Structures are given as structure tokens and as C-alpha cells.
Chain A
């Protein structure tokens, strides 16, 4: 439904360069409070990346975010947006250049959706025609229909639709930087997952620099290019890409916060192609059984796999199938499940567990066999990342 919209948006939605963001010993102290709300926070976010601020409630993550657009003023230190200190900017002017989306959305109930989205463009003095075009473009960008949505009031939309409009409004003036405070926090789990995926797709096109606040470590891992884990008192516990955070938590606090299932969480970050697949003896019908028997002794998997002319897996051969001189198509079971190289490792593992199959043939995008995935291979892959193993399983399969 949105194929034309998607084609258009690439041109103008990301017209402005994303800005880098740097916290330099940024500190926030409230008078009369012993400990700081944000304590000497230093981190830098390259342009075009999503930096997630995550931590338990009261860790100062929202305060840190709000210091960027001066909703909260910095006590000590500095924050640079695109290399310029936010302290040198007039707050209202600075905020018009920084997209702002919050959990409660905060759409203006008395304005139409179109006027809500047009808020910042109007403040910036855009002409009417440009605003109208931009509003329709943004409504399409968040997968809604401009004709149907533009003139409605916020109360006439569902929660998920309002959330999308909140994101569209934050993007309205094409800001080089966006602040998002638990933007999907008030949405039910099913719609939250959809909105997250949509937003990641959107981000792959618009490439904004984004500060994303959440208390949910799973959301942080999913959304973040980098994750800053904050602990109570506004202290930065660790700042790392998701994989590194899960693999090497810097402290007991981070380890507890990411959870005891961090090995499982890592599976969600990896794809089947990231781990070393097992080798499997594969044959076509009618090939000689003698060479097959040699292959069987060389491979990780001892059950031969029948493939078709294009190397697409058909099924696992029974012992009878290669008892004679030539291979017959007598199967002990169909090749099911079959996983693709680009599948998420967690999903592939779920497939393996569900059907009680020990092995799943892995294919490329054209369906050609690349190797075999097993629970042991996944287990080795997860550990292997700590100390890379010397196995090169799939390579042995190349004809």
C-alpha cells in the first residue's frame, strides 16, 4: 500500500544531515539533594546512530535526555549537538531543531492531526504549501493514510495511530537529532513490537541521530546501535554496542540488569550466517553410494541429506537408501525445518526445539544448501564468540 510513499520519502525525509551528540561530564544536581541526578556523564553518539539510555527507574536516564534540549539545564559539564554547545543556544530555538517524542505523546487535543504535525514547521515560518506537502509525506511515512487522517482530532485515533503521529510530529522539521522517551512504552506488546520494527525500518531510511530512553533492556538491545546503561545516581555503568554489553558486562550491576538470560538475548542479535554451520553429507538421487560413505566419515553430521538438482534439501535418507550401489530416494524424514542464512538465530533455535529435530538444513536466499544447524552448533557459536573457534564447517560443502 505504501510502495510509492516509500519511494518518495527517501528523497526529502532525510534531506538534512544527522548531527553528532556528545555528553562531556554533563552533571545535573538539584538543590538540596545530596547525590546528583546525572553524574559526570560522558559519551558520544556518532551521527545517524540510535543511542539507548537504559536503566532502572530513578537512574537519571530521562533527566540526561532532557538536558540535551535544555528542558532541564545542565549544572556542570556540557552537551554538544553537532559540535555546538547547547548552552550557547536559546532554548526554544534549540528545541525546534531537535525532534521530541514522549511516552504520553502529548498531541494537542484541540488541533487536527495535520496541525499537530505542522507545529514546528509553522514556528519556523514555512509557507503553507510546503507545510501541507510535508504533513502528507509524514503521515504516509508512518504508514497512515493522509486523506483519512489529516483532518481528524487526536481523540479520534487509536493509541497506536497516535503514537505514530507523535513520531511524525517529532520528524516534521527534519531535525538532525531526535529525543524519544519511552515512545512505545504505553502500547500493548503486539503493537509495540510492530511499532519498533516499523521505526527501525524508518530509521534505516532517515538515519537520524536518536537518543532513545527506555527501562526495558530487551527494547534497548533491539533498538540500540549503542546502549548506555545508567545506574541509580545517574552514573554511567557501561556504554557499548548491544552485543558487547551482553557478552562482556562491565560490572555486576550491568550483568544483573541485562539479565541471566543474556546468552539467549544474544541469539536475538545474531543470524544463522554468524555461526559456524555443521557439514553434512549430501547426495542427489542415483549418485554412487561409495563416495557418499566417504563423505559421511568426513562430515559433522552422519545422516546423509538428499538434495535436488539445484542443491535444495529434500529429506534425510534412511539406511536402506544407500545400502545398494546407487542412492535411492527412501527418506527417514522430510527436510523440515529448513532455515535461511538470514534468519534470526533465536527463531532458528525455536524451530529446532519445536519439532524435536536435531538438525535443520540451512539454505541461502535461493534455497541452496549451505550446511546444517544443530543445537550444539548454536551452543558452540555462542561460546565461540568469546574465543573464536577454528571451525570452518560450511566451507567444506562448496562444490
Chain B
């Protein structure tokens, strides 16, 4: 990456490149976008990386909590309420509150992003596991599957549609939240948007990339889910 495009990410520098009339008017300028697309590549990559890491960690924690709560049903309420509470904290407040503890940077951003993603994935996984029909778990047990075999061979596969529904909501929400992660000193497309909030070309490209990322992730999950659940589309022919 050139030195120029690195500079371009630093807030306050973009305005210097306004030359043509369209750009001067803060308009939507395809020519400028083509010329300056480079400067969005790295923030975009950072955005993707933050989203994927946050989702992975969030999923691991939420899934583990859900399996635990599935065995100890009384925990569903408290854990669900806890993850919900995390979600209700205003995100900007959370970023700022954490600064003294974890400092500026990706760590602070990730802690908040993960905390926000838990509620969807936990609730959906627990619900998916609980929705496995009683007769299915009864016949699994009756045939001699152990509790663990039943969990991994029957309950989890049957909960895949709900688990993925949770992942998709969490993914979309996280992509949106990463756009605010620059408050914590992390990268991402959010910084780009706010740097030049009145320049339509900038907002459209940076914002558009966020939307595109959210849509792409959604499609990836949808496609994976369809691959994992061929049975869900099987109907009497």
C-alpha cells in the first residue's frame, strides 16, 4: 500500500484532495470514487477482521453458555437476562467506559463487540436446542444414545436453523457496531465516514461498503445453513 493511501486514512487529510467542481460541492462523484477507492481498502479489511473475530469469539462464548444452560435449564433465565443487559448498554458509552481499563485499540472494541453479539446467539441456540421435538430426544435416548451423543448427533444438528438465524442477526449488528469502533481507537470504515461526513462520495462508499459487508456475511451464513440442512427443504414429493 502506498504512503499516500496510508495518509488518506488519517482523519482530516481527505479534504485536501477536493479539486473538481463535483468534489467541491461535496457531491456524488463517480470519477473521484474510482480514483480514490484505494484509501478504503485497508479500513474495509480492518472492518472485516474486527467483525469476524468478534463474531467468532462471541459465538464460541454464546454457544458454550447455551450448551451449559441446556443441561441446567434454570440457568437459561439468568444468562439470557445477563446477555440482554449487556446489549442494552449504549455502545458509545461502553467504548468510553472501557477505555481506562483496556486502553485505546482493538481490544476495547472487541470486548464491546463480543458482549453485544452474545444475546442473539445465546438465545437462539438455547431456543433451537429446546425446540427439538420431545419424541426425537425420547427415541434417541431409547435407542441408547448417551447424553453427549444425543447433543452432538441429534440436538445440535436440529438446532442449526435457529443457531444460524442468531448468527445472522449478530453478524449484521456487529458490522454496524464496528462502524463505531473508532471511538475506542480501533480501525474500520467508521472512521472514514466521520472524517468527511458532508462529502456524499465518501459517505456513500464507506457506508456502502458496510452494507455490502453485512449483506455478504448474511449470504455466506444463509448459504452455509442451506448446505448444512438439506433435510429442512425435504418435503413429501
Q: Are A102 and B235 in contact (CB under 8 A)?
A: no
Interface size on B, residues (CB 8 A): 26
The 8 Å CB contact of B234, one of A95, A152, A179, is: A152
**Do B144 and A95 touch (CB < 8 A)?**
yes
Stretch at the interface among A51-59, A105-113, A321-329: A105-113
Q: Which residue of A lies closest to B149 (CB)?
A: A123
Contact B135–A71 (Cβ < 8 Å): no
Chain B, residues 131-170, CB within 8 Å of chain A (1/0): the string is 0011111111111111001000010011000000000000
Are A108's CB and B140's CB within 8 A? Answer: yes
Residues from chain A with Cβ under 8 Å of B134 in the complex: 104
- Whether A120 and B234, one on each chain, are in contact in the complex, defined by CB atoms closer than 8 angstroms, is no
Q: How far is the CA of A109 from the CA of B157 in the complex (A)?
A: 10
List the B side residues contacting A149 at CB < 8 Å. none
Is the CB–CB distance between B145 and A123 below 8 Å? yes
Contact in complex: A155, B142 (CB < 8 Å): no
| Contact B144–A157 (Cβ < 8 Å) | no
A156 is an interface residue with CB less than 8 A from chain B: yes
Q: Cβ of B236 < 8 Å from any Cβ of A?
A: yes
Q: Does B237 contact A (CB under 8 A)?
A: yes
Q: How far is the CA of A102 from the CA of B229 in the complex (A)?
A: 25
- Cα distance A106–B135 when bound, in Å? 5
Q: How far is the CA of A179 from the CA of B158 in the complex (A)?
A: 26
Q: Which residues of A contact B154 (CB under 8 A)?
A: 108, 110
Report chain A residues within 8 Å CB of B136. Answer: 106-109
The verdict on A312 contacting chain B, using a C-beta distance below 8 Å, is: no
| A94 sits at the interface (CB 8 A) | yes
Please state if A156 and B135 are interface contacts (CB–CB under 8 Å).
no
Q: Is the CB of B143 within 8 A of A109?
A: no
**Which of B188-237 touch A at CB < 8 Å?**
229-232, 234-237
Contact yes or no, B135 A104, CB < 8 A: yes
Q: Specify the chain B residue showing the minimal Cβ separation from A109.
A: B231
Q: Contact: B229 with A119, CB < 8 Å?
A: no
Cα distance A70–B146 when bound, in Å?
13
Partner of A92, one of B146, B229, B230, B231: B146
Chain B residues with CB under 8 Å of A76's CB are: none
Contact with B along A181-194 (1 / 0, CB 8 A): 00000000000000
**Known contacts A110-B157, A156-B235, A156-B236; is-contact A95 B143 (Cβ 8 Å):** yes
A102 touches B138 (CB 8 A): yes
User: Which residues of chain B have C-beta atoms less than 8 A from A212's C-beta?
Assistant: none
CA–CA, A71 and B144, complex, Å: 10
Query: In the bound complex, how far is the Cα of B97 from the Cα of A257, in angstroms?
Result: 73
**CB neighbours of B149 from chain A (8 A):** 123
Q: Does B142 contact A110, Cβ atoms closer than 8 Å? A: no
Determine the distance from Cα of A339 to Cα of B141 in the docked complex, in whole angstroms: 49
User: Measured between C-beta atoms, what is the minimum distance from A191 to chain B in Å?
Assistant: 16
Known: A102-B138, A104-B135, A109-B231. A155 touches B236 (CB 8 A): yes
Report the separation of the CA atoms of residues A83 and B229 in the bound assembly, to the nearest whole angstrom.
Answer: 44
Task: Assess whether B158 is in contact with A110, with CB atoms less than 8 Å apart.
Answer: yes
How distant is B148 from chain A, measured CB to nearest CB, in Å?
A: 10
Q: Please, how many angstroms separate the alpha-carbon atoms of A97 and B236 in the complex?
A: 32
A94 contacts B235, CB within 8 Å? Answer: no
CB–CB B235/A155 < 8 A: yes
A364 smallest CB distance to B (angstroms): 47
Residues of chain B within 8 A of A106, CB atoms compared: 133, 135-140, 142
Residues of the B chain whose Cβ atoms lie less than 8 Å from the Cβ of A156: 234-237
For the complex, what is the distance from the CA of A107 to the CA of B138, rounded to whole Å?
10
CB distance from A49 to the nearest CB of B (A): 21
Expressed in whole angstroms, the Cα–Cα distance for A104 and B143 within the complex equals: 14
Nearest Cβ on chain B to A278's Cβ, whole angstroms: 53
The distance in angstroms between the C-alpha atoms of A176 and B159, with both chains bound, is 34
Q: Are A105 and B139 CB-contacts (below 8 A) given A110-B158, A153-B231, A156-B237?
A: yes
Report B's interface with A, CB cutoff 8 A: 133-146, 149, 154, 157-158, 229-232, 234-237
Given known contacts A100-B139, A104-B134, what 16 new A-B pairs fall within 8 Å (CB)? Answer: A71-B138, A71-B142, A92-B145, A95-B142, A95-B143, A102-B135, A104-B133, A105-B135, A106-B135, A106-B140, A107-B136, A109-B158, A110-B229, A111-B231, A123-B145, A156-B236
Q: Can you list 24 pairs linking A and B with CB atoms under 8 Å apart?
A: A91-B144, A92-B146, A100-B139, A100-B143, A104-B134, A104-B135, A105-B135, A106-B135, A106-B139, A106-B140, A108-B136, A108-B139, A109-B136, A109-B158, A110-B154, A110-B158, A119-B145, A120-B143, A152-B234, A153-B231, A155-B231, A156-B236, A156-B237, A157-B236
Q: Give me the 8 closest cross-chain CB pairs, A-B, nearest first.
A: A106-B139, A104-B135, A96-B144, A100-B142, A95-B144, A106-B135, A153-B234, A110-B231
